[in-house]
Chains A and B, each alone.
Chain A
Amino acid sequence: MSPPTVAAGAHPGGQQAGPFPGHPVAAARFTADVDRAHWHDQALWFVRVKRDRAAAQLPAWERLRELAEGLKAHALANLAGYLEAFEKNATAHGAVVHWARDAQEHNRIVHELLAARGVTRLVKSKSMLTEECGLNPYLEARGVEVVDTDLGERIVQFRHEPPSHIVLPAIHIKKEEIGELFHQELGTEKGASDPKYLTEAARGHLREKFLAAQAGLTGVNFAVADTGAVVVCTNEGNADMGTALPPLHIACMGLEKIVPRAEDLGVFLRLLARSATGQAVTTYTTHFLGPKPGGELHVVLVDNGRSALLARDPFRRALACIRCGACMNTCPVFRRSGGYSYGTTVPGPIGSVLGPTQGPGAHASLPFASTLCGSCADVCPVRIDLHHQLLAWRRVLVEGGYAPTGKTLALRLTAWVFASPWRFALAGRLMRAALRLLPAGLMRRLAGAWGRQRDLPAPPPESFRDLYRRTNGRP
């Protein structure tokens, strides 16, 4: 049976071992290096600016977002029927469709396919689903060499880290660090950090892996019900290279990747790359339909909590996500705290909505890792109301007793004060007096996280009520 987990499997949180300490602690680790945090912020803002420029080029941008939202709502309301249609059409073209209730079943299906054909060398292109399922360690423990072939993913694989971002897996790593890593792993020149040189070295290294691979595994960006095709988008061409050479192609996807019609791809593809990286379209957008002559195509459909999430209003809307990463690039918290501060496979605003669906109290700190500024919802190509969902999660988590005790007590105290006019007035009087009389350093400490880097405001001479009473409401 599928446990209530979805799309945001836990990971150890970068280099830090041990249980995940919650967003505030993990974020503090990242922001301790002020220069790096600033650099990370700038790198992602650069991508956000490119996205804005690309969006502005399409006069129909907002209309496309409305259609994409409508298409996803329609598809999610009719998932079972569209999945059956997909299975029928894909099978008619020679693909084999598998169904997995959870991560374990998914991993077992993939391993059995490989084992039955004696495959020990697998090349993979980007798939957040296989990250969610923990496929790599599962296969490696069973003697399969798994090579992630997306450059960013290969970099984090060499470092034994998960991706820190779903589209830009190595966005947290500087080129000098990659130069040192490639010097160790690939024998590039010591001290070399030119991206062109390093990319060329990776190209040579991975070309050997592609030529030697016995099977290729890819994720899926879209599965088309009315044709049975699975569509995979890359810029590097690694999904194409990884599937064009070996006879076996395994494509793994979450159930929610279904689109009803091939024509729907027009809407989603016009939004996807523009939202992700500011490109008009990815270099390769491949529509796989059936196996190559003499080869095999297996499609693994994975539930892993998705069918349960479908019942859950309003959080089911997170199933509309097309994994573009735009909400991460724009989020002021993500940009400054980094992907590992979330402790989930999918980080950022969408990950903060998906993480808590893994079970009561799971990833309870994530919905609070937001200013609720709403920028995520503004850039989301499928118009998921992310900040509303984060607010809704806070209510669920606080009512369920999963908020930190200090936060719960502070909120209870605030509610008690605000519930009575005289308590409110008294509290204001006390605060103004305290700001005047107590040392600023002590007051900053009392103000918690807010006071850590900010002075508190100078107190006004009188409250609004005093002012109103004194002037009788006249200016």
Chain B
Amino acid sequence: MAARDEILAALRRNAPSGPPHPGYAGVAAAFPDLLAQFALSVAAVGGTLVRVPDLAAADAALRALPIHAQARRVASLVPGVGAVTVDATAVTDPHALADLDLVVLRAALAVAENGACWIEGPGLPHHALVVIPEHVAVVVDAAAVVPDLQAAYAALDLPGRPRWGLFLAGPSKTADIEQSLVIGAHGARSATVFLVG
């Protein structure tokens, strides 16, 4: 506790005067076609976007893709999408998820400006499900696409409903060797977004 009190006292003693919180006026993005922008952004972050009218169509489209056809171990958090072979909710130790081929995730919200999809902790049995599979598919409602991160945080209301969560934008990637972009660093080698409705 001594360290804590000493540090806080020093910070109070040394605090400069500062402006009030500036708010967020004047930074909102506006796109003539929100969903078209989202599609562009998903492609820019290395993802693939598939537009479908409903979940049944998402399921059919997913099953037609090689990431599903070639997958042996599939987990899905979206009922009706994907041929599930692993019940992720029944797994207690996330290490058991190590050889997953495909996971279908549900995003509560997505961002047109950067292609990121918000995956929430509640409803996600293991954090590992986002990074450990070879491939991820994300299902998000077209109505849940917002223009930018400012709008995203306003809609998420994290102070009102604090929760674990992450923005996922495309597949895992690195450019640490001579700035050459390589897809599939530690996490998923591909990210397919199913935009529903």
Does A424 belong to the interface (CB within 8 Å)? no
Residues of B within 8 A of A229 (CB): 158, 162, 164
Residues of B within 8 A of A79 (CB): 11, 15
Most buried by A among B19, B179, B184: B179
Q: Are B186 and A210 in contact (CB under 8 A)?
A: yes
Q: Are B158 and A227 in contact (CB under 8 A)?
A: yes
Q: Are B22 and A70 in contact (CB under 8 A)?
A: yes
| In the complex, residue of chain A having the shortest beta-carbon distance to the beta carbon of B166 | A286
Q: Per-position contact with A for B155-197: 1 when CB-CB < 8 Å, else 0?
A: 0101100111111111111111111101011111000000000
Does A366 belong to the interface (CB within 8 Å)? no
Q: Are A203 and B158 in contact (CB under 8 A)?
A: no
Residues of A within 8 A of B152 (CB): 266
Q: Are A149 and B186 in contact (CB under 8 A)?
A: yes
Q: Could you tell me the dominant secondary structure of chain B's interface residues? A: loop
Residues of chain A from 162 to 210 with CB closer than 8 A to chain B in the complex: 168-171, 174-175, 178, 195-196, 198-200, 203, 206-207, 210
Residues of A within 8 A of B132 (CB): 241, 244
Kindly provide the distance from the CB of B120 to the nearest chain A CB, expressed in whole angstroms: 10
Q: Are A265 and B159 in contact (CB under 8 A)?
A: no
Kindly provide the distance from the CB of A87 to the nearest chain B CB, expressed in whole angstroms: 8
Residues of chain A from 298 to 328 with CB closer than 8 A to chain B in the complex: 301, 303, 307-308, 310-311, 313, 316
A265-B153, A266-B148 known; A235+B172 contact, CB < 8 A: yes
Most buried by A among B12, B22, B116, B148: B22
Q: Are A203 and B14 in contact (CB under 8 A)?
A: no
CB-contact partner of A74 in B12, B22, B27, B168, under 8 A: B22
| In the complex, residue of chain B having the shortest beta-carbon distance to the beta carbon of A243 | B127
Kindly provide the distance from the CB of A335 to the nearest chain B CB, expressed in whole angstroms: 13
Does A155 belong to the interface (CB within 8 Å)? yes
Residues of chain B from 100 to 134 with CB closer than 8 A to chain A in the complex: 111, 113-116, 121, 126-128, 130-132
Provide the bound-state CA to CA distance between A238 and B95, in Å.
15
Does B44 belong to the interface (CB within 8 Å)? yes
- Interface residue stretch chosen among B2-10, B63-71, B73-81: B2-10
Does A105 belong to the interface (CB within 8 Å)? yes
Does B32 belong to the interface (CB within 8 Å)? no
Q: Are B21 and A74 in contact (CB under 8 A)?
A: yes
Q: Are A281 and B164 in contact (CB under 8 A)?
A: no
Kindly provide the distance from the CB of B168 to the nearest chain A CB, expressed in whole angstroms: 6
Provide the bound-state CA to CA distance between A84 and B29, in Å.
33
Q: Are A207 and B186 in contact (CB under 8 A)?
A: yes
Q: Are A155 and B16 in contact (CB under 8 A)?
A: no
| In the complex, residue of chain B having the shortest beta-carbon distance to the beta carbon of A212 | B95
Kindly provide the distance from the CB of A295 to the nearest chain B CB, expressed in whole angstroms: 10
Work out how many contacts link A and B, with CB atoms closer than 8 A: 263
A80-B12, A238-B185, A241-B131 known; A67+B153 contact, CB < 8 A: no
Q: Per-position contact with B for A28-49: 1 when CB-CB < 8 Å, else 0?
A: 0000000000000001001100
Q: Are A290 and B172 in contact (CB under 8 A)?
A: no
Provide the bound-state CA to CA distance between A151 and B179, in Å.
12
| In the complex, residue of chain A having the shortest beta-carbon distance to the beta carbon of B20 | A74
Provide the bound-state CA to CA distance between A43 and B28, in Å.
33
Does B98 belong to the interface (CB within 8 Å)? yes
Provide the bound-state CA to CA distance between A165 and B111, in Å.
30
Residues of chain A from 191 to 250 with CB closer than 8 A to chain B in the complex: 195-196, 198-200, 203, 206-207, 210-211, 224, 226-229, 235-238, 240-241, 243-245
Provide the bound-state CA to CA distance between A108 and B175, in Å.
34
Provide the bound-state CA to CA distance between A168 and B98, in Å.
28
Q: Are B185 and A289 in contact (CB under 8 A)?
A: no
A76-B18, A237-B186 known; A63+B26 contact, CB < 8 A: yes
Q: Are A244 and B127 in contact (CB under 8 A)?
A: yes
Residues of chain A at interface, number, CB under 8 A: 96
Does A99 belong to the interface (CB within 8 Å)? yes
| In the complex, residue of chain B having the shortest beta-carbon distance to the beta carbon of A105 | B3
Provide the bound-state CA to CA distance between A82 and B24, in Å.
19
Residues of A within 8 A of B180 (CB): 175, 195-196
Does A71 belong to the interface (CB within 8 Å)? yes
Provide the bound-state CA to CA distance between A287 and B13, in Å.
31
| In the complex, residue of chain B having the shortest beta-carbon distance to the beta carbon of A286 | B166
Q: Are B149 and A313 in contact (CB under 8 A)?
A: no
A79-B15, A244-B131, A266-B150 known; A155+B176 contact, CB < 8 A: yes
Q: Are B128 and A287 in contact (CB under 8 A)?
A: no
Most buried by B among A76, A195, A243, A265: A195
Kindly provide the distance from the CB of B155 to the nearest chain A CB, expressed in whole angstroms: 11
Does A279 belong to the interface (CB within 8 Å)? yes
Q: Are B18 and A313 in contact (CB under 8 A)?
A: no
Residues of B within 8 A of A150 (CB): 176
CB-contact partner of B176 in A168, A174, A265, A310, under 8 A: A168
A74-B22, A280-B113 known; A236+B172 contact, CB < 8 A: yes
Q: Are B178 and A175 in contact (CB under 8 A)?
A: yes
Most buried by A among B115, B131, B176: B176
Does B53 belong to the interface (CB within 8 Å)? no
Most buried by B among A171, A241, A288, A290: A241
CB-contact partner of B173 in A67, A168, A236, A270, under 8 A: A236
Does B45 belong to the interface (CB within 8 Å)? yes
A-B contact pairs, 20 of them (CB 8 A): A47-B179, A93-B162, A149-B186, A150-B176, A169-B176, A199-B177, A236-B186, A237-B185, A240-B130, A241-B132, A260-B21, A261-B159, A263-B150, A266-B153, A280-B45, A284-B169, A292-B127, A307-B10, A307-B14, A310-B10
Question: Which 3 A-B pairs rank lowest in CB-CB distance, beginning with the nearest?
Answer: A77-B18, A237-B187, A152-B176
Given A46-B179, A289-B121, 4 more pairs with CB closer than 8 A: A244-B131, A261-B21, A281-B45, A307-B14
Residues of A within 8 A of B (CB): 43, 46-47, 58-60, 63-64, 66-67, 70-71, 73-80, 83-84, 89, 93, 99-101, 105, 149-152, 155, 168-171, 174-175, 178, 195-196, 198-200, 203, 206-207, 210-211, 224, 226-229, 235-238, 240-241, 243-245, 255, 260-263, 265-267, 269-270, 277, 279-290, 292, 301, 303, 307-308, 310-311, 313, 316
